């Protein structure tokens, strides 16, 4: 009995010391400021906000040519009439109150992101030393259904400036309920197109499951979080909250009605 209590106590200490979250002043306002900022951003997506933010709902790109090559591939082509819809239809399913819990947790879902357009690609891709020629003329019609981001993070004092901030304990999982592929390669017949759509769909779903355990570590811990922490190093919680609130105010004042 005594040893069990001792273990529990040890565990308690370990848990507490694993996440030291000395909250800075204004932490109580972080979650509401963040929510206001995101809702305001959502509201300006159909209009954009000059000079930095283009129209994002929908994203429309009339023509884009590319020509990229390496030892292993050479792809030349273009995409036209690209239209991406649904980026502003996200819903915040839940968000924790950082001031109370010491953890900013969120659960955000995009019910449907639709991508339409057409593309032409020519070139080759080297697979195991064999150059595989690629020649495609595609009508693009795909949709991501119920794309969901569930994650959390917390703040600690910056290591370089004790008044500044840094993000710690960053976690993220991405879920995709379905992907609808109805792409059409005009150089192919019906059965080949159907086969290719089914195959790509399986491949994308598997790929996402495959990288799932690595999303947090590689993508975010290593790439995004250090960048953000660099930006936050000389920013206090009070300044961060003020920034979210004043930026949200500017976007709200734009009264985007598109």
Binding interface with ligand NAG (CB under 6 A): 76-78, 120, 122, 161, 163-164, 189, 191-192, 230, 233-236, 239
Using CB atoms within 10 A of its CB, is residue 117 exposed (0-12), middle (13-18) or buried (19+)?
buried
CB 84, min distance to ligand NAG, A: 20
Specify the long-range contacts of residues 158-161, CB closer than 8 Å, at least 24 apart: 158/229, 158/232, 158/233, 158/234, 160/233, 161/233, 161/234
CB 23, min distance to ligand NAG, A: 15
CB 126, min distance to ligand NAG, A: 19
CB 63, min distance to ligand NAG, A: 7
- State the Cα–Cα distance between residues 51 and 61, nearest whole angstrom: 18
Alpha-carbon distances of 75 from 115, 122, 141, rounded to whole Å? 21, 6, 21
Phi/psi of residue 255, each to 5°?
45, 55
Q: Which is nearer to ligand NAG, 147 or 237 (CB)?
A: 237
CB 215, min distance to ligand NAG, A: 26
Q: Which is nearer to ligand NAG, 180 or 192 (CB)?
A: 192
Q: Which is nearer to ligand NAG, 161 or 221 (CB)?
A: 161
Q: Which is nearer to ligand NAG, 3 or 191 (CB)?
A: 191
Q: Which is nearer to ligand NAG, 96 or 245 (CB)?
A: 245
- How many residues are listed for the chain in this entry? 258
- State the Cα–Cα distance between residues 166 and 232, nearest whole angstrom: 6
CB 224, min distance to ligand NAG, A: 15
DSSP codes, 173-202: EEEEEEEEE--EETTS-HHHHHHHHHHHHH
CB 190, min distance to ligand NAG, A: 7
- State the Cα–Cα distance between residues 183 and 196, nearest whole angstrom: 9
Q: Which is nearer to ligand NAG, 85 or 239 (CB)?
A: 239
Q: Which is nearer to ligand NAG, 72 or 230 (CB)?
A: 230
- State the Cα–Cα distance between residues 132 and 126, nearest whole angstrom: 6
DSSP codes, 72-105: SEEEEEEEEEEEEE-TT--EEEEE--HHHHS-EE
């Amino acid at each position: 009995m005594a040893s069990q209590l001792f273990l529990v106590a040890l565990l308690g200490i370990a848990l507490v010391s694993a996440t030291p979250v000395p909250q800075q002043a204004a932490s109580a306002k972080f979650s509401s400021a963040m929510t206001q900022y995101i809702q305001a951003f959502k509201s300006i997506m159909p209009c954009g906000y000059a000079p930095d933010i283009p129209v994002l709902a929908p994203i429309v790109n009339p023509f884009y040519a590319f020509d990229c090559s390496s030892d292993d591939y050479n792809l030349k082509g273009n995409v036209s009439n690209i239209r991406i819809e649904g980026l502003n239809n996200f819903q915040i399913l839940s968000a924790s109150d950082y001031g109370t819990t010491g953890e900013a947790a969120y659960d955000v879902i995009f019910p449907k992101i639709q991508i339409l357009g057409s593309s032409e690609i020519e070139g080759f891709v080297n697979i195991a030393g064999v150059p595989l020629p690629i020649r495609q003329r595609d009508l693009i019609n795909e949709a991501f259904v119920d794309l969901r981001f569930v994650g959390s993070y917390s703040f600690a004092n910056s290591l370089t400036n004790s008044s500044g901030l840094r993000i710690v304990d960053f976690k993220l999982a991405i879920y995709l309920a379905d992907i609808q592929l109805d792409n059409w390669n005009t150089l192919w017949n019906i059965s080949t197109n159907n086969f290719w759509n089914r195959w790509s769909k399986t491949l994308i779903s598997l790929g996402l499951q495959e990288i799932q355990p690595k999303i947090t570590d590689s993508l975010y811990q290593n790439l995004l979080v250090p960048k953000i922490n660099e930006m936050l190093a000389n920013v206090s919680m009070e300044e961060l909250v003020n920034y979210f609130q004043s930026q949200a105010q500017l976007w709200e004042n734009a009264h985007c009605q598109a």
